[in-house]
Structure 1
Amino acid sequence: MDKQQRRAKLGETLAAMRAEAGLNQAEVASRLGKPQSFVSKYESAERRVELSDLEEITGALGARLEDVIARYREAVNAG
């Protein structure tokens, strides 16, 4: 799996966790103090997510970083 595919899996994971938290992209963006396009772009793998961003996103979702990483690894391993 190449980097772009891994980025897509992370975006899918974050989108799924956002939906499970009952949030839309605008709500997450508001919590992050960023435009909605920021959320859209990392969810669609148009934007790379830095670790500091991932920590903030995780907090905005009300999740733990460890849980996001575990879900991401499951998605990558599943192909």
Structure 2
Amino acid sequence: MAKTLHSKRQEVLVAAIAQQRRAKGLSQAQVAKALGRHQPFIANIESGERRVDLLELLALADIIELDVHALIDRKRQVEAVQPV
């Protein structure tokens, strides 16, 4: 399996996280604090430097009210256009 850190799927994920965080009017520092982390943790996720695992994604999604199901659907749409 190819590395996914700089894949189109990863780009969709980090864009969705950053967009939803901003839409909710939250700073990276606020989200990080809610997760019990430091701000660079969120910055590294949003910049694509750090992959987020499933449990982190679910916690993050709760804080920024990100619809994970819709995110999965978007990922599938990207794969339909650009197969993995």
Q: Tell me which interval the TM-score lies in, with the shorter structure as reference length.
A: 0.7 to 0.9
In percent, how many aligned pairs have the same letter? 31
Higher helix share: 1
Select the structure of larger CA radius of gyration. 2
Amino acid across the alignment from 1:37 = P
- Deviating beyond 6 angstroms after TM superposition, the runs of 4 or more aligned structure 1 residues are none
How much is the aligned-residue C-alpha RMSD, in angstroms? 2.2
The alignment covers a number of residue pairs equal to: 77
For normalisation by structure 2, the TM-score amounts to: 0.75
Give ranges in structure 2 of 5+ residues lacking alignment: none
CA displacement 1:16-63 (0-9 Å, x = unmatched): 010111111011101111110110001111001100110010011123
For normalisation by structure 1, the TM-score amounts to: 0.79
Give ranges in structure 1 of 5+ residues lacking alignment: none
